[in-house]
Amino acid sequence: MILENFPTFSEWILPGIALFGGIILVAVLLGLFFGYVVASFRYGPFEAFYTVAQVVGEAVPDFFNTSPKRVMAMARLAVKEALRRKVIVVAFAIFVLLLLFGQWFMTSQTEKPEQRFINTVMFGTQLLTLLTMMLVSAFSLPEDIKKKTIYTVVTKPVRPTEIILGRIVGFGFLGSLLLLAMGLVSFLFVSRNLTHNHDVVGDTQTIASLTKFEMGTKFSPETGRRLSDNAVMEGSTNTVSGHSHRLEVIEFLASGPDDPMVSGPDVVDVFEKSNQTFVHRLICLPYGGHTHEVTVDGKGDDAKITIGPSVGYFRARVPIYAEKLRFLDSDGKPSDKGLNVGKESTYRGFIDGGSPLGGASLSRANFFYEGITPDRFQNLDVIPLELQLGVFRTYKADIQQQVMAGITFESVPDNESENRFVSNMENFETNEYQLQVRGVNRKIRGQILAPDGSLVEQGEYDLFDDFAKNGKLKISLACLDRSQYLGCAKADIYFRAGDEVYWWNFAKGYIGIWCQMMIIIAMAVAFSTFLSSPIVMLGVIVMMVVGFFTPFIRSLKTTDWDAGGPIESFIRVVTQSNMMVELETGWATTLIKNTDAFINQRLSDLTYLAPDFKQLDFANFLTFGYSIDTQRIVVAVAVTLAFCIGLTLLGYFSLKTREIAK
């Protein structure tokens, strides 16, 4: 999952408030200026001054005297209006119908059924909720003005703030109900479609249903498929929900008769060979991101096999990401971005494995963690570490052969004069974006190095007590295959602290849609104070599109254009000047470039007027099975609140300065 750098709420709030305050200040100043200009045309310059002053003077008591009771009365009206027009019921019915028919096309016969189901329900919910609430809110106030029902409201002691806030609250409440209903149906839909059981193919549901072969057989005598290294039997489950699983009995070496593995529920046989204990376990091989628990009752061929419910779906992993990621280049020198592998996405940086002629590379990706304490991992002896790396191959060779990588753990002393703990390198193979789930033993073999790099001692050390004594830990990633590259970003290697309750994480995913919905409602209500319904809809749709593509639009500003900004480009077009040739230096060029820079900056500022919907979209967390960080939720709610306040101000001044009657 691509996870852009994200500040915590405390890091975000001050610049956020400064940006919000700046936008509001500029908007108020521009509003006053344009208000004065328009009033000057109508009443003359002196009278205009008093008119503008009157509006400003009335605004302050209007805000302070806004009555929550009247806001709630307006909200109740908005709710009744939408309910009795049955828009919400129709939207919900359409959603249910979409799920019913969509089910035909969303079988679990796919690589990642959980992702497909969650993507579909989240997208359907988002689309229907946003469109429905946009329609409801865009038509409400203009209809009131058109049908003149607003006459009987504004002639009561109702302030414009109450009219706007009432609608935002009312439609927000209704949208929340719709979202809740859709969320519940979606949760049931996904759960129902992913939960399933299998039987073993064969007449008896016993070990006798499996095919035996010699250990070391590479390909199945029955199906011709590649077998696991130590497999001794194979079989298959029946097809349920569009897929089946392969079953294999695999031989494991146990540490002794007391090894917990020996007494596991999936044990088919335990035997001694050459004074060593071996265990045959029945494994259900994963398919589409899940597997099943297997229970074997009895001994020998008559032992009964029971395939349990699916395991692997409905995860909400709580990752502990690195605080920072630093690269070393091929010579072991610090580098900002990692190696350049061509025109690739800049999200991941790359490290190389050296070259056949130059030897092994010193290129490393160093992940720095903080807060690594045993209590965050429930004092487990084996700490889960998950990796998902990019792979860039410069030659294919055997494409099925994975790229070799290695990781080492290092302590990060607070003082440079302290000794460092460095673990031995653990090697593993990986394919592009393949999720590697590794258990890191708390006891790690390694060495203590003096500050000058000399060896102090070797031995077995504790991950928490020695390596991460101060809570800090470094993981160093190396690519071990020559001429191959590994790509990684900060979120690609993380410790898994545990799992969050799934339904709660699912609910948090809907908070993102709720935030988007509230902004759409506030936008539609604010726009409808001065625009007709169709124009409101058009405006909101444009803002939505801009909102979903905000990162792209903002990236346009940061791109270095070869031919300069708009003025410079125009000059180049007129003078037929090649865009690679620098303009003549002089005051004119300086003026052009500065003007372009100014325009560029102002255009960039304008992008902040549109909400960044990507920032409010948490669907990917659910799709990829990660817990949604509370910091993100808090920031999303704060952004939503800021937009609602800004849009309420816009709506207030628009309603205050317009004539309600014609």
Point out which span in 103-111, 142-150, 350-358, 509-517 binds other proteins (CB under 8 A): 142-150
CA gap 17, 369 in Å, rounded: 29
Residue 435: C-alpha distances to residues 67, 390, 432, 542 (Å): 55, 10, 9, 38
The reply to whether 149 sits near other proteins by the rule CB under 8 A is yes
Select 166 or 338, whichever has its Cβ closest to other proteins.
Answer: 166
Please tell me whether residue 60 binds other proteins under the rule CB under 8 A.
no
Smallest distance, other proteins to C-beta of residue 51, A:
9
Separation of alpha carbons 183 and 170, rounded Å? 20
Nearer to other proteins by C-beta: 218 or 662? 662
Among 5, 10, 152, 274, binds other proteins (CB under 8 A): 152
In the structure encoding, which two tokens stand for residue 82, read together?
């939408």
535 binds other proteins (CB under 8 A): no
The strand pair at 484-488 and 349-352 is best described as: antiparallel
Q: Are 138 and 537 in contact (CB under 8 A)?
A: yes
Which is nearer to other proteins, 147 or 602 (by Cβ)?
147
Q: Please identify, among the stretches 151-159, 178-186, 378-386, 566-574, the one whose residues bind other proteins according to the rule CB under 8 A.
A: 151-159
Out of 24, 72, 208, 360, point to the residue binding other proteins (CB under 8 A).
72
Task: Name which of 435, 436, 406 is nearest 422 in CA terms.
Answer: 406
CA distance 635 to 8: 8
Residues shown for the chain: 662
Residue 153 within binding range of other proteins, rule CB under 8 A: yes
42 binds other proteins (CB under 8 A): yes
* Phi and psi angles of residue 447, each rounded to the nearest 5 degrees, phi first: -140, 165
Q: Which stretch binds other proteins (CB under 8 A): 77-85, 94-102, 262-270, 444-452?
A: 77-85
Question: Any contact of residue 62 with other proteins (CB under 8 A)?
Answer: yes
User: Which of 5, 10, 41, 60 touches other proteins by CB under 8 A?
Assistant: 41
Choices 3-11, 157-165, 552-560, 645-653 (CB under 8 A): range interacting with other proteins: 157-165
Residue 136 binds to other proteins (criterion: CB under 8 A): no
Task: Confirm or reject binding of residue 393 to other proteins (CB under 8 A).
Answer: no
What residues pair up with 382 in beta bridges, in sequence order? Answer: 441
Which residues are CB-neighbours of 293 under 8 A, at least 6 positions away? Answer: 265, 266, 284, 307, 308, 309, 311
Q: Tell me the number of residues near other proteins by CB under 8 A.
A: 32
Minimum distance between the CB of residue 532 and other proteins, rounded to whole angstroms? 14
146 binds other proteins (CB under 8 A): no
Q: Should residue 46 be labelled a site residue for other proteins when binding is judged by CB under 8 A?
A: no
CA dihedral 204, 206, 210, 214 (to 10 degrees): -140
Residue of the chain from 101, 151, 271, 552 that contacts other proteins (CB under 8 A): 151
Per CB under 8 A, 158 contacts other proteins: yes
Site for other proteins contains 56 (CB under 8 A): no
Dist CA 304 CA 310 (whole Å) = 19
Least distance to other proteins, CB of residue 70, Å: 6
Among 5, 155, 275, 345, binds other proteins (CB under 8 A): 155
Question: Which range binds other proteins by CB under 8 A, 150-158, 274-282, 462-470, 538-546?
Answer: 150-158
Count CB-CB contacts under 10 A for residue 415: 7
Does 602 bind other proteins (CB under 8 A)? Our answer is no
Q: Which of 53, 90, 148, 271 binds other proteins (CB under 8 A)?
A: 148
Burial letters 39-71, b for 16+ CB under 10 A, else e: bbeeeeeeebeebbeebeeebeebeeebeeebb
Instruction: Give the separation between CA 402 and CA 621, rounded to whole angstroms.
Output: 27
Query: Which residue, 158 or 316, has its beta carbon nearer to other proteins?
Result: 158
If the CB atoms of residues 84 and 225 are measured against other proteins, the closer one turns out to be 84
Binding test (CB under 8 A) with other proteins, winner from 5, 84, 229, 585: 84
Under DSSP, is residue 142 helix (H, G, I), strand (E, B) or coil?
A: helix
Rule CB under 8 A: say whether 159 interacts with other proteins: yes
Tell whether residue 147 is a contact of other proteins (CB under 8 A). Answer: yes
Residues 6+ apart with CB under 8 A from 639: 16, 515, 611, 612, 615, 616
* Region near other proteins per CB under 8 A, out of 130-138, 153-161, 261-269, 497-505: 153-161
Q: How far is 479 from 340, CA to CA, in rounded Å?
A: 15
In the sheet with 484-488, reading across from the earlier edge strand, the strands are 349-352, 484-488, 390-393
Nearer to other proteins, 43 or 101 (CB): 43
Cα–Cα distance measured from residue 346 to residue 350, given in angstroms and rounded to the nearest whole number? 10
273 sits near other proteins (criterion: CB under 8 A): no
For residue 69, state whether it binds other proteins (rule: CB under 8 A).
yes
| Residue range at the interface with other proteins (CB under 8 A); choices 146-154, 337-345, 519-527, 635-643 | 146-154
Q: Cα–chain-centroid distance for residue 390?
A: 18
Q: Which residues contact 303 (CB under 8 A, 6 or more apart)?
A: 206, 207, 268, 296, 297
The residue among 76 and 196 lying less far from other proteins, judged by its C-beta, is 76
User: What values do phi and psi take at 135, rounded to 5?
Assistant: -60, -50
Shortest reach from residue 146's CB to other proteins, in Å:
11
Helix (H, G, I), strand (E, B) or coil at 648: helix
> Is residue 530 at the binding interface for other proteins, with CB under 8 A as the rule?
no
Q: Which is nearer to other proteins, 67 or 217 (CB)?
A: 67
Choose which of 1, 24, 36, 76 interacts with other proteins (CB under 8 A): 76
In the complex, minimum distance from the CB of residue 69 to other proteins, in angstroms, rounded to a whole number = 5
Give the other-Cβ count within 10 Å of 580's Cβ.
Answer: 7
Using the rule CB under 8 A, which residue among 52, 59, 70, 361 binds other proteins? Answer: 70
- Which member of 23, 24, 28, 77 binds other proteins (CB under 8 A)? 77
Structure tokens belonging to residue 513: 């849609």
- Which range, of 35-43, 183-191, 515-523, 636-644, touches other proteins by CB under 8 A? 35-43
User: Which of 27, 37, 141, 40 is closest to 82 using CA atoms?
Assistant: 141
The reply to whether 73 sits near other proteins by the rule CB under 8 A is yes
Residue ranges in contact with other proteins by CB under 8 A: 41-43, 58, 62, 67, 69-70, 72-73, 76-77, 80-81, 84-85, 147-159, 659-661
